[in-house]
């Protein structure tokens, strides 16, 4: 595993703050997205469940913001470099309907979570514990899987459309993540150490993140 190979290295503080800033902004955006999804849901139970998940994401944002402050950095400044790339990803992957928004949350957020879990192994213990706590499933995966499978059972043709959508999300997520890691030198150093082949190391790490995609697709009932 990539993380095991480099976990003995003391992480650079700048890279840690970058990672926390990225995760904090992603959590804040997830809060807004889930709140919007809740407003689009038809069933009251779905509205309530999604609203609860949105509240959980905002709680994650608050914890990350506090940790950044504890490390002596300004949370807003830590998040600022990632506003444009995160927003750009969401602009390019705007869902056409509620089902696409659910698949986006499950597939796109799942890829990001895999990335954060790998990198968490490189962090100091308090920060690693916080990141893993933030990434713990709050029930979103179960909610999405149930709703998507129900939709496919009711209308099998939906499955093909959502499978294509999921593949597009995979490509966009990996492309954007590689761009962010390559453009942020402190984060690149955290991921690749002092290696002169940083981009190659980062590329190999991202290649490992595609393994879980097939499992997510199977869980959703979507053919690869």
- CATH number of the domain that residue 41 is part of: 1.20.1260.10
Range of the domain at 212: 12-220
Report yes or no on 185 lying in a domain.
Answer: yes
Q: What is the DSSP code (8-state) at residue 11?
A: P
pLDDT at 72 over 60: yes
> How much is the average pLDDT of 91-112?
86
CB 24 within 8 A of CB 76: no
Report yes or no on 190 lying in a domain.
Answer: yes
Tell me how crowded residue 222 is: count the other CB atoms within 10 A of its CB: 24
Distance CA 180, CA 19 (A): 10
Radius of gyration (C-alpha) of the chain in whole angstroms: 17
Q: What is the pLDDT of residue 197?
A: 47
Distance CA 97, CA 42 (A): 12
Question: pTM for this one?
Answer: 0.79
Report yes or no on 2 lying in a domain.
Answer: no
With vertex at residue 178, the alpha carbon angle to CA 66 and CA 89, rounded to the nearest 5 degrees, is 70
Q: What is the pLDDT of residue 204?
A: 64
Query: What are 166-199's pLDDT values in tens digits?
Result: 989 988 888 887 778 777 877 777 766 544 444 4
Report yes or no on 5 lying in a domain.
Answer: no
Q: What is the pLDDT of residue 4?
A: 37
Q: Which residue has the higher pLDDT, 121 or 150?
A: 150
Report yes or no on 122 lying in a domain.
Answer: yes
Report yes or no on 93 lying in a domain.
Answer: yes
Would you put residue 95 in left (φ > 0), alpha (ψ -120 to 50) or beta?
beta
Query: Which of 75-108 are b and which e, b meaning 16 or more Cβ less than 10 Å from the residue's Cβ?
Result: beebbebbeebbeebbeebebeeebbbbbbbbbb
Distance CA 9, CA 28 (A): 30
Query: What are 78-99's pLDDT values in tens digits?
Result: 999 999 989 999 999 988 888 9
Q: What is the DSSP code (8-state) at residue 136?
A: S
Query: What are 112-124's pLDDT values in tens digits?
Result: 788 778 778 778 8
pLDDT at 206 over 70: no
Distance CA 3, CA 7 (A): 6
Q: What is the pLDDT of residue 203?
A: 60
CA pseudo-torsion sign 135, 202, 102, 98: positive
Number of domains in the chain: 1
Report yes or no on 57 lying in a domain.
Answer: yes
When pLDDT is cut at 50, 70 and 90, the band that residue 108 belongs to is confident
Q: What is the pLDDT of residue 161?
A: 94
């Amino acid at each position: 595993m990539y993380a095991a190979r480099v976990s003995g290295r003391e992480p650079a503080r700048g890279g840690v703050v970058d990672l926390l800033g990225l995760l904090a902004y992603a959590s804040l955006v997830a809060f807004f997205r889930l709140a919007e999804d809740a407003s689009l849901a038809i069933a009251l139970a779905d509205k309530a469940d999604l609203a609860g998940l949105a509240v959980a994401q905002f709680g994650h944002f608050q914890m990350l913001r506090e940790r950044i402050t504890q490390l002596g950095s300004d949370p807003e400044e830590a998040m600022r470099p990632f506003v444009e790339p995160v927003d750009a990803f969401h602009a390019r992957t705007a869902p056409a309907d509620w089902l696409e928004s659910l698949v986006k949350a499950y597939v796109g957020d799942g890829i990001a979570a895999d990335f954060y879990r790998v990198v968490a192994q490189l962090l100091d213990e308090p920060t690693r514990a916080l990141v893993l706590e933030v990434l713990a499933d709050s029930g979103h995966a179960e909610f999405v899987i149930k709703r998507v499978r129900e939709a496919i059972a009711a209308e099998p043709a939906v499955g093909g459309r959502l499978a294509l959508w999921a593949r597009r999300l995979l490509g966009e997520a990996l492309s954007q993540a590689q761009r962010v890691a390559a453009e942020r030198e402190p984060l690149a150093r955290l991921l690749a150490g002092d290696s002169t082949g940083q981009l190659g190391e980062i590329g190999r790490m991202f290649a490992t993140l595609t393994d879980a995609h097939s499992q997510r697709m199977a869980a959703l009932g979507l053919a690869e």
